[in-house]
Each structure stands twice: as structure tokens, then as C-alpha cells.
């Protein structure tokens, strides 16, 4: 797959375009509103277009926010595509591959900050697809000595991990912003992993997916660093900022905000108390202190 099209020119889309270029692909980047530099290094000499129909390749990488995925891609002809977005569609509770439902789809997910990928720092990720040719082609199109890619067929499990970790990162950030201490943050991340694992398994995914790069790995990175948009938003909420002001201060989209209620709806009867508390806090039904108190007041149980 020597010709790669990247749809979406946010930080992650630009980083993946740079990564495909570094791997030797000819890259065309679709930037709907024109290219705005979002990374600490300059974009290499790749083609940039504002016409999505001009961004074509043997592989298309779609890096637009989940809540806009249907509007951007829904009317376009199906093609082999790798989805680089994480979350659950608010209106339908569908994961990205379920929104498009094209015959040949895959997802990329893992503990990856766009700026570090762009700088060529060591990183790893997972590419999941039921299409062997797409999966292996995407690994070849993006993999380099500093970006190690693992293959998976657990498409729903990988997407579930990517969606849940954003919600859990808001919770961890909120605890930090509220000054609740490192113990509280570590407990939230650890018990959050238990919720993420229950969700993955209930959807038919594998335990090793939850314990791997797209589950535990992504959760650790996202919930442990203020570089994460979701954690940063949580920190502002914990400091007393309103949700509207916290969103206005965000650099890019904090997917966990729209994902939280949609993820709970998709989870149904699956026990996800941290995600539920986060959704209650985001909706204004609970304060930070009330949400934490509710979690601590839950009945004791065996781990």
C-alpha cells in the first residue's frame, strides 16, 4: 500500500501522515479547513488538499472525531480504510467500524501521543481487522523501526478499550485537579481497568486485548499525563471550572465527554461505576466530591 490517503488534519491525522511518509508511502492529507500546524515538527513534503475526493490511496486512514465520522464519510463509496478515532457515537452507541460498516475496515489504537510519534520517539500500537490483507498492508504502510505495530483480529475489543480509556482519563484528571492525591488517581486507574476489561469481555473481546496496548497501555498513558486532552479537561473540572469553560480551553476534541453517556448506554447491565460517576459529573447531576463519595460508598467486595 504505497499510496496512502489520510482524512483529517488534526494532530493525530498529521502524525499518521508523517508516519506513513517515514515508512515510504506516498501520502495525501485531506485538511477540510486548510492545514494548521499542530505538531512540534514541520510536516514533510506531502500533498495536502481541501477536497476529500482528491485524497485517494490503496489505504485510507480516517482520523476525524467519532461524532463527525458519519457526516464526513457516510455518503462516500466504501474503500479499504483504517479508522484512527476512538469513542462511541452519541446518537447510536456504535463504535467507529459499526458506523461505517464498510466491507474492509480496521482500527489503530494504542498508547500514542501524536507529538511523540511525529518526533520519531519509540512507540507501539495495535492494528485490528478481520481483513488479513488490510491488516498486514496497514502494518507495512505505517510500521518503522521506531513505531512497532502488532496485529489483532479483536476489532470490537480494541475499540472498546479506546473508548473507555477516554472516559476513565477524565475521572483520573478530575481527581488530580480536585487535589484528591495520587492514591485516589491510582485507584481510579486500576479499578477503571477492571471496568474496561468487563466491557471488552462482554462485547465478545479478549482478555489479552484489555491487558494489552489498546487497553491497559492506552489507559496508563491517557490517564497519567496532562498532555492528554481528556485528562487535562478532567483536571480543569476538578479545579472548579465549568464544563463549558473546560471544553473551550481544550486543545482539540476531548472525546470522553460525548462518549461517557453513549458508552454507558452501550454497556447496558455491565458494571461500570467509574464511567457512570464521570457521566453524572459531566451532565451536572453530581459534583466532583459527590461522584467520588458515591464511588467510595459502594458496597465492599472481593477484588
Assess whether 165 carries a catalytic annotation. Answer: yes
End-to-end CA distance of the chain: 46
Q: What is the spatial distance between Cα 154 and Cα 140, in angstroms, rounded to a whole number?
A: 19
Give the other-Cβ count within 10 Å of 298's Cβ: 10
For residue 284, give every residue at least 6 positions away whose Cβ sits within 8 Å of its Cβ, in sequence order, or none. Answer: 243
Q: What is the spatial distance between Cα 67 and Cα 20, in angstroms, rounded to a whole number?
A: 25
SS3 for 283? helix
Q: Which of 21, 135, 165, 266 is catalytic?
A: 165
Decide if 163 contacts 155 (C-beta within 8 A): no
CA angle 245, 249, 252 (to 5 degrees): 125
Instruction: Return the C-alpha cell found at 298.
Output: 459502594
Could you list the active site residues? 165
Amino acid at each position: 500500500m504505497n499510496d496512502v490517503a489520510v482524512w483529517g488534519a488534526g494532530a493525530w491525522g498529521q502524525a499518521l501522515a508523517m508516519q506513513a511518509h517515514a515508512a515510504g508511502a506516498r501520502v495525501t492529507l485531506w485538511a477540510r479547513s486548510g492545514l494548521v500546524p499542530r505538531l512540534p515538527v514541520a510536516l514533510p513534503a506531502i500533498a495536502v488538499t481541501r477536497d476529500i475526493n482528491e485524497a485517494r490511496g490503496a489505504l485510507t486512514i480516517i482520523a476525524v472525531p467519532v461524532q463527525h465520522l458519519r457526516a464526513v464519510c457516510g455518503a462516500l463509496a466504501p474503500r479499504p480504510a483504517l479508522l484512527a478515532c476512538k469513542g462511541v457515537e452519541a446518537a447510536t452507541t456504535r463504535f467507529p467500524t459499526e458506523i461505517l460498516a464498510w466491507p474492509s475496515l480496521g482500527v489503530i489504537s494504542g498508547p500514542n501521543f501524536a507529538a511523540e510519534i511525529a518526533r520519531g520517539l519509540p512507540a507501539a500500537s495495535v492494528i485490528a481487522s478481520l481483513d488479513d490483507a488490510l491488516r498486514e498492508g496497514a502494518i507495512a504502510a505505517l510500521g518503522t523501526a521506531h513505531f512497532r505495530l502488532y496485529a489483532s483480529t479483536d476489532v470490537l475489543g480494541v475499540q472498546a478499550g479506546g473508548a473507555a480509556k477516554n472516559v476513565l482519563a477524565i475521572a483520573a484528571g478530575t481527581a488530580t485537579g480536585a487535589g484528591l492525591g495520587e492514591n485516589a488517581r491510582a485507584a481510579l486507574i486500576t479499578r477503571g481497568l477492571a471496568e474496561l476489561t468487563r466491557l471488552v469481555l462482554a462485547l465478545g473481546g479478549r482478555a489479552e486485548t484489555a491487558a494489552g496496548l489498546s487497553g491497559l497501555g492506552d489507559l496508563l498513558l491517557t490517564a497519567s499525563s496532562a498532555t492528554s486532552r481528556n485528562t487535562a479537561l478532567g483536571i480543569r473540572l476538578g479545579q472548579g471550572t465549568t464544563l463549558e469553560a473546560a471544553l473551550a480551553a481544550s486543545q482539540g476534541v476531548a472525546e470522553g465527554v460525548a462518549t461517557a453517556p453513549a458508552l454507558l448506554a452501550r454497556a447496558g447491565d455491565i458494571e461500570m461505576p467509574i464511567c457512570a460517576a464521570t457521566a453524572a459529573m459531566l451532565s451536572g447531576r453530581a459534583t466532583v466530591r459527590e461522584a467520588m463519595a458515591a464511588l467510595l460508598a459502594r458496597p465492599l467486595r472481593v477484588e
